[in-house]
């Protein structure tokens, strides 16, 4: 099939990804792009234990992901690409065109301001999201498939924050 979803989620592989998106999209494999995880057997084992045995997980650095994306897009199976931060997705988009990016969860942290129930951003992260959009990626926030996607403009304006 192809890569069906490109998601930024600081929790990486967790319930929303494996079950929330994995089941309705009938995901066969997940490409987890993180330079730290890609070089740690222990971290990989930790994440691998969280997914059902029929789901494959590939751990790549950002640079390796750029090279491998054409192959994953040509794969007959259904896949999902995941990064833990905006900067990694920005790096990937520099090297491989991506039409749409899903912001699945960026949680509270130093210097971040809440923009949505599950999205907190620093000024630098806001700029990086605008850069992603300027590179041609449609950026929306959506934690689970049943939720309404929130546009980048509404996200940055905090329009959906109640």
Shortest distance in whole angstroms from residue 81 CB to other proteins: 17
Quick one: 57 or 133, whose CB is closer to other proteins? 57
Shortest distance in whole angstroms from residue 21 CB to other proteins: 12
In angstroms, the CA 7 to CA 94 distance is 16
CA distance between the termini of the chain: 38
Quick one: 96 or 125, whose CB is closer to other proteins? 125
| Interacting residues toward other proteins by CB under 8 A | 10-15, 17-19, 42, 46-47, 49-51, 106-109, 117-118, 120
Return the CA Rg of the chain. Answer: 15
Quick one: 11 or 130, whose CB is closer to other proteins? 11
For tokens 């990486």, name the residue.
Answer: 12
In angstroms, the CA 15 to CA 21 distance is 9
């Amino acid at each position: 099939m192809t890569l069906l979803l490109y998601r930024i989620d600081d929790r990486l592989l967790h319930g929303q990804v494996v079950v929330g998106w994995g089941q309705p999209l009938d995901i066969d494999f997940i490409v987890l792009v993180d330079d730290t995880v890609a070089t740690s057997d222990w971290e990989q084992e930790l994440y691998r234990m969280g997914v059902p045995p029929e789901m494959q997980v590939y751990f790549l650095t950002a640079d390796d992901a750029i090279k491998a994306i054409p192959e994953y897009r040509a794969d007959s199976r259904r896949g999902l690409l995941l990064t833990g931060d905006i900067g990694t997705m920005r790096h990937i988009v520099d090297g491989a065109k991506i039409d749409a990016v899903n912001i699945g969860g960026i949680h509270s942290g130093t210097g971040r301001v809440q923009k949505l129930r599950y999205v907190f951003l620093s000024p630098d992260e806001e700029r990086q999201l605008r850069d992603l959009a300027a590179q041609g990626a449609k950026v929306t926030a959506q934690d689970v498939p049943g939720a309404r996607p929130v546009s980048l403009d509404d996200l940055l304006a905090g329009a959906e924050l109640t």
